[in-house]
Chains A and B, each alone.
Chain A
Amino acid sequence: KNEVEQSPQNLTAQEGEFITINCSYSVGISALHWLQQHPGGGIVSLFMLSSGKKKHGRLIATINIQEKHSSLHITASHPRDSAVYICAGGMDSNYQLIWGAGTKLIIKP
Chain B
Amino acid sequence: DTAVSQTPKYLVTQMGNDKSIKCEQNLGHDTMYWYKQDSKKFLKIMFSYNNKELIINETVPNRFSPKSPDKAHLNLHINSLELGDSAVYFCASSRRPGSPYNSPLHFGNGTRLTVT
> Which residues of A pack against B, CB within 8 Å?
29-31, 33, 35, 37, 40-45, 48, 50, 84, 86, 88-92, 94-97, 99, 101-102
Query: Is B100 an interface position by the 8 A CB rule?
Result: yes
A13 to chain B, nearest CB (A): 20
A-B contact pairs, 7 of them (CB 8 A): A43-B90, A88-B43, A91-B101, A94-B56, A96-B45, A96-B100, A97-B100
B41 in contact with A102 (CB, 8 Å): yes
Distance A37 CA – B105 CA, assembled complex (angstroms): 13
One of B61-69, B73-81, B107-115 contacting the partner: B107-115
Chain B interface size range: 20 to 34
A88 surroundings in chain B (CB, below 8 A): 43
> Which residues of B pack against A, CB within 8 Å?
31, 40-45, 48, 50, 55-56, 88, 90, 92, 98-107, 109-110, 112
